[in-house]
Structures are given as C-alpha cells and as structure tokens.
Amino acid sequence: MRILPFDTYEGACIWVAAIFKKQLEEKPDSVLCLPTGSTPVGVYDHICKMNMRRATTFNMDEYVGLSPDHPQSYQYEMYENLFERMRPEHRPVSHFLDGNIINTDNECIAYHTSIQVAGGFDLLLGGIGEDAHIAFNKPGSCINNKCRKVTLNESTRKVNARFFNSIDDVPKSALTIGMQEIMGAKKIIIMAFGEKKADALMSLATPGQKTPLRLLAQHPNCTLVCDNAAVKKLRKAKKLMFGCGAKIIFSPHPDDDVIGCGGIMQTMLDLNIAYCTSGLTTAKKEIRQWESELAVGMLDPLATLEFMDLPFYYATGREITQADINAVTALLDKIAPDTIYVCDDKDPNGTHRKCREIISRSAPKKKPFVFLYRGAWGRIVDSAIAYPLYHDQVMKKVSAVLAHSSQNPPLVHHGDKTPFHQRAYENCISEGETGYEEQFEACDWDYFVRYAQCGVAPPQTTQLAAEERGIVS
C-alpha cells in the first residue's frame, strides 16, 4: 500500500480527480466503484465535469429500509453530489443496491453477479470509518465476504446520526459490497482525513488488528490518500523507530535479532541487544555467544550486548518464573529505553512466545513503545511500518546470519530445512522502491501487554502515548 499524505483536502481531491481523468482517458468504458459520505464530495466537485457516458458505476452500499428517493439514501446522495451535476449526455450507466427490497439476499447475489459480468472494478474509490470500516465491512470482515446484508454497530450509527433527525432514525442494517469485490478491483484509492481517522490508520501497523484497511495493505495497487492529521499517529510510530533514544532488541535465541532486524540494526543509535536464552542445542553457550558478538559486530560495532540466560529455559516444561520477569524488569529499568523490539513469530518449540510473555509481564518504571518483528518462522507482510533496505544492507544482514554457523543447517526445523540465512533474505524481498524491506508492527506498552497476555486486544483500545511521554514533539 502506498500512503500519500497531502497538506490540504483540496489538494488531495485534485490528485484523486486526476487519477479518474487518466483512467477515463485510457479506458472510456471503465467500471468504477464509488462511495458516498462527506469524504469524496471534493472529488465529485471535479469529476462531475468529466464525460463518463461510456463508463459504468457501482455504488458501494445502501441503507436497508430507505427508498431511493429518501434524502438520506445513498442513491439519492449520489445523484445530489455527482450525477445531477453532470451534463445528462455525460452520465454513466449507474448501478445501486436497493435497500427497500424485500428479499435482500437475492438483491446482493444479483449485485455481485452484475459486478462480475462487468469484469470487476477498474478503479475503486472508498473512504474509511473511524473504526477502520470500508463500505460497511467492519473490523473482522473476511477477505472472502461478498455483497451481503450487515448489521450496523452503534458507533457507526452514532457517527451517521448527524445526517438524520436522531439516532433512532438511522437504519440498523445495510447492504454492502464485500471485501472480495473490493480486493478484486484493479486499482484502489482510499481517502481518510482528520484526527478522528488517526486510530483507523494506525491499525495498519498494530498487532492483532484485522481491519479491512489492513486487508487492503495486501493489494498490489492500493493508495491511501490522507492528510497530516489522519496520518499523525502512524508518523509518530515511525519517528520512534528512527529516534535517538535508547533501544533494546529482545532476541529469544542468539540469532533472532539479526534474522529479524539485521537491516535496521545497521542504522540504529544507542542500541542494546538482550539475548533472552543461551539457545543451547549441540553448541556450547560460549560458542553461541561468540557467534552473536561476531554477527552484531558486522552490523553495529557499538551495540551493547546483554546475555540474560533466563532460567525458564532450563526448567521442566520451561515454566516462566518470577526470576525471569524480575530480570527483564531490571534490564528495562537500567536502560530505560524509549523503544523495544520484541520477536513475535511462532517458533516450533514456543520459546519466542515464552520470551514475549515474560517481557509483557515485566513492570518497568518507564513504559517503552513496542515494535514487533519476526525471525525465522514467519514474516509481517501488511504493516505500514516498513524499513526499506538496499541490496548491500541485505547482504550484510545475510552475512550476519551466516556468522551463526552452529545453526547452519538449522538444528530445529520441524520439516522446514530452509537455512536461516535464506529465510532472512527471502523475508526481506518486497515490491517497494528498493526491492527489500523489513516490516514491523507497532503499539504502545499497554496494548502490547494485552496483546501478549490475552491475544488480540479490542481495536478501539489502541493509543499512541508517545506525545504525552514527551518522546516526540
């Protein structure tokens, strides 16, 4: 996903309108998907002057129970904001969901079929709700959801109540295209403006967030058009990543740090690396420590290494003890980092998850901001927090992983014998400008604790407390 911030709403609308103009010039019979609401009105101010007579449009959604001539129906709104402002001979063939029909299931099936027969959307324009919903696809919507009837949650009804006499007049259900139809679009533009959309955009980088916007991050041609207020929290997370304050990378085993963070380690200042366990297999503790020192020396010779050797690693069943938690708390209090990096993949033996839990159960006096990374057992593919890498940086990272020669080939593989250095390289490959990147998820300490101990925390609880703590201005 490309994130494109603009200084002004008008500037963003001009850019989006230019994309529509180019689309219609290159393919006059384009199939377009259009939204309603206040966000796209500025775009419609421009495209109402275009010739769309050969184009076909589909509306995203419609309230159930409102007739097309109801002032708050989305069909009425589309005619008011766009089609009635066009010259009659320039109007497209337009399709709308009928929210006043008795058999809504058949209506949704027919609408989905019409989209498929038309060849899918060439260009889809959408807005985003405060809870990160797109059309009426709420957080938790499945990527395979098709056009369907949905129940509107109270937060959505409250936001939309400003268009009605009272919240009691807001319909309780709606018809909406699904994520399947949206993801099938060849090109997608999502618009988001204002501070109220900041949490929605932050879902792009927050662990456990299953929002439609997060799904769209996987789309090969999706652009998020926003203003500085909407992208504010996401930017702060990135500033924390590159800030000058103390940092700790918690590495469950002696090689997870370079596998997951070996690229960004080459640029970090005031870096500390905490090796939670000795990683003993057939190699002695001293050998694995020496390999760590050699590997990190290739990337950041000034980094401080802490070999914690947490006791849980030697306990029967590897049960976490208070001694483990106290050791992590003591380290966090000694260094007082602004940010920490925690491994979040699912290694076969569960050591990474144990280390993550121990960190989350610690009680530091200063709560750091948290970045989650993945090592040899997975990759993050849809986060907005990505650090671009160049080829020479990736090769240095690979060399650092190879420095852990006692782990090549992998001694713990559970059927996947791919060497760790190869996994590290392949996990960096991206479609970004440089061709490589490391991706991270980001959240504040309180969210991290809920995420690590309770699974996925409620999406609305995510808050970036960086500004309040004075880490960034």
CA angle 30, 32, 35 (to 5 degrees): 165
Q: What percent of the chain has a predicted confidence (pLDDT) above 90? A: 70
* Centroid of chain to Cα 109: 30
Phi and psi at 335, nearest 5°, equal: -90, -30
Alpha carbon separation from 113 to 27, 71, 93, 108 (Å, rounded) = 22, 28, 16, 9
- The dihedral region occupied by 65, where left means phi > 0, alpha psi between -120 and 50, and beta the remainder, is left
- Cα–Cα distance, 126 to 147 (Å, whole number): 15
Q: Identify the residue whose tokens are 């709700």.
A: 129
* pLDDT at position 412: 63
Count CB atoms within 10 A of the CB of residue 405: 10
If phi > 0 it is left, if psi is from -120 to 50 it is alpha, else beta; for residue 270 that is left
Separation CA 127–CA 36 (nearest Å): 8
Partner residues linked to 146 by β-bridges: none
CB 260 within 8 A of CB 356: no
- The whole-model pTM stands at 0.75
Using CA atoms, how far apart are residues 469 and 125, in angstroms rounded to an integer?
37
Give the separation between CA 393 and CA 435, rounded to whole angstroms: 12
Cα→Cα distances 215→82, 179, 251, Å = 29, 8, 29
With both helix axes pointing from N to C terminus, report the angle between 351-361 and 322-335 in degrees, rounded to the nearest 10: 60
Count CB atoms within 10 A of the CB of residue 168. Answer: 9
What residues contact residue 261 under an 8 Å CB cut-off, 6+ apart?
A: 249, 341, 373, 438
Residue with tokens 């079929």: 113
Distance of CA 384 to the CA centre of its chain: 5
Other Cβ atoms within 10 Å of 149 Cβ, number: 16
pLDDT of residue 281: 59
Query: Which residues of the chain fall below pLDDT 50?
Result: 457-473
Full set of structural domains in the chain with CATH: 2-230 (3.40.50.1360), 236-469 (3.40.50.10320)
Torsion over CA of 345, 348, 353 and 358, rounded to 10 degrees? -140
Residue 466, pLDDT score: 35
Distance CA 451, CA 443 (A): 10
For the stretch 422-425, contacts whose Cβ atoms lie closer than 8 Å and that sit 24 or more positions apart, written own/partner, are: 423/259, 423/376, 424/258, 424/259, 424/262, 424/376, 424/397, 424/398, 425/394, 425/397, 425/398
pLDDT (0 to 100) of residue 19:
96
* 305-308 CB contacts, 8 Å cutoff, 24+ apart: 305/272, 305/273, 305/275, 306/272, 306/273, 306/274, 306/275, 306/331, 307/275, 307/278, 308/274, 308/275, 308/276, 308/277
Q: Name the residue type at position 333.
A: D
By the 10 Å C-beta count (0-12 exposed, 13-18 middle, 19+ buried), 465 is classed as middle
**CA distance linking residue 177 with residue 179, whole number of Å:** 7
* 374 within 8 A of 260, measured Cβ to Cβ: yes
What does DSSP assign to residue 347? -
Strand partners, 115: none
pLDDT reported for residue 413: 57
